[in-house]
Amino acid sequence: MNLAFTFGGVSSEIYIEESLHDIRAIINADGGAFGGARLLVCDENTAGIANRIAASGAFGGDQAMSQTGGLCVLPAGESAKNWTNVEKILKTARDAGLGRDGVFIGVGGGVITDMTAFAASVYMRGAKLALIPTTLLGMVDAAVGGKTGFDLFGIKNFIGTFYPSPLIIMPLESLSTLPIREWRSGFAELLKTAVLDDSDDFLDRVGRLKDAFSSPDFPASMLQDSVLRKELLACIARSVEIKGRIVEEDPGEMGTRRRLLNLGHTFGHALESSVGLGILAHGEAVAWGIARACDLGRALGATGRDRAEKITGLLDSFGYETRAPHPRLKETGRFMDALFNDKKKKAGKLAFIVPEQRGCGVIFIEKTIERILHIINGEDA
Ligand code: GLY
């Protein structure tokens, strides 16, 4: 399946494929656009996939990888998303002889694709880029839309650029080895995007995957059933399409349109950092944040009861924690500090995305501590 977008003047072609086999053909067929020396960037978890891509000839013909490019294997996890590893990518590219026509290929989850894209964006003032997201979160969110970056001063994605990847290939095959925690993160983003859609059809469609998702056999229960596998692929494609169209309208997040993609993230990020980074999967925090966005929308009169109950009920049925207060949240003060330090504040006001009767809307709120405290304590729903 092939989708195409234009993000701030850059064309971005997205292929959603069954297997890794297709990657060689796609990269090598792209009109010579990816003909320069290639650098594969991966982490310890995706090195096997990167090596298979290299062995498939994605580096060009039968030439040895060392003659035509390089491989940079980084440690896995959010703690690796730092300048030291960006520098390592840049150094490996230089040592492998990449010029400005060199192609950086990021193979992995959001940490790898964000860092690879950042490195490509600054290498000799901008090298070529292709991304191969191997996690559900990477496919439905991180790799699409041009945000790049790494963490600095303890702040997530503090440094970054907008640098859309002209080529993104999503191999469904790579999901078969994805840890459950990663699935939970990805599914929350899928549900988030479905809540943003103008009709309930997509939300209902994702909802129909919940039995397979909750099965003890998951992910085999979904990936080995040809009907459900096709449904998953269709949901990924729909999610990419919704995100892509939103980003096309507001590629640099200058207006309010792209902010919609932060549904559940303002509350979610604050929860993640106040209970301690790494305790909750990102998607678990986002799912809880979507439930709080429903509460806030209800309190402000923007979200109807039926809509809020439908969304929260769906999150519950996927097994996400939606209760307020969150059982792991012990220090409300830390939560509030994290909330009001959100780097996406505009003119001192926090932006919250709340579900509306169709899709979602953005509201800016000043320090209305009382109201937010009620919401996270479950007193204002
Ligand atoms: N992950 C939100 C965005 O791409 O804007």
Domains of the chain as residue ranges with CATH = 2-178 (3.40.50.1970), 181-376 (1.20.1090.10)
What is the pLDDT at residue 66? 40
- The answer to whether residue 350 scores a pLDDT higher than 90 is no
pTM exceeds 0.75: yes
Cα 148 to ligand 1 centre (Å): 10
Pocket flag, ligand 1, residue 147 (CB < 6 Å): yes
192 within ligand 1 shell (Cβ under 6 A): no
Ligand 1 neighbour 261 (Cβ under 6 A): yes
The pLDDT value recorded for residue 303 is: 95
Q: Quick one: average pLDDT of 171-198?
A: 95
Is 129 a pocket residue for ligand 1 (Cβ < 6 Å)?
A: no
Q: How far is the CA of 247 from the centre of ligand 1 (A)?
A: 8
Q: Which residues contact 250 (CB under 8 A, 6 or more apart)?
A: 256, 257, 258
Q: What is the pLDDT of residue 347?
A: 65
**Average pLDDT value for residue range 135-164:** 94
Nearest Cα neighbor of 180 from 143, 222, 142, 225 is 222
Contact 105, 73 (CB under 8 A): no
Percent of the chain with pLDDT over 90: 71
**5-58 residue pLDDT tens:** 999 999 999 999 988 877 777 777 765 677 778 899 999 999 999 988 888 766
Residue 344, pLDDT score = 65
**In the block, which residue shows the tokens 């095959």?**
173
Report the residue among 114, 196, 262 best suited for mutation to probe ligand 1: largest number of ligand atoms under 8 A from its CB: 262
Among 59-68, 110-119, 146-155, 311-320, name the one with the lowest average pLDDT: 59-68
Among 302-311, 312-321, 324-333, the minimum mean pLDDT is found in 324-333
Cα(277)–Cα(247) distance, integer angstroms: 28
The pLDDT tens digits for 86-102 are 999 999 999 999 999 99
Residue type present at position 294: C
Residue 369: what pLDDT?
64
DSSP 8-state class, residue 140: I
pLDDT of residue 59: 58
Distance of CA 240 to the CA centre of its chain: 10
The closest alpha carbon to 298, from 220, 337, 240, 355, belongs to 355
C-alpha distances in angstroms, 161 versus 50, 165, 207, 345?
Answer: 25, 12, 34, 18
Tokens of 297: 């929308």
pLDDT at residue 58, as a whole number: 62
Give 85 or 300, the one with higher predicted confidence: 85
Average pLDDT, the chain: 90
Residue 300 reports pLDDT greater than 60? yes
Which pLDDT score, from 0 to 100, does residue 373 have? 74
Q: Name the band, by pLDDT with cuts 50, 70 and 90, for residue 331.
A: confident
**Residues recognised as catalytic:** 125, 147, 189, 243, 253, 257, 262, 265, 269, 282
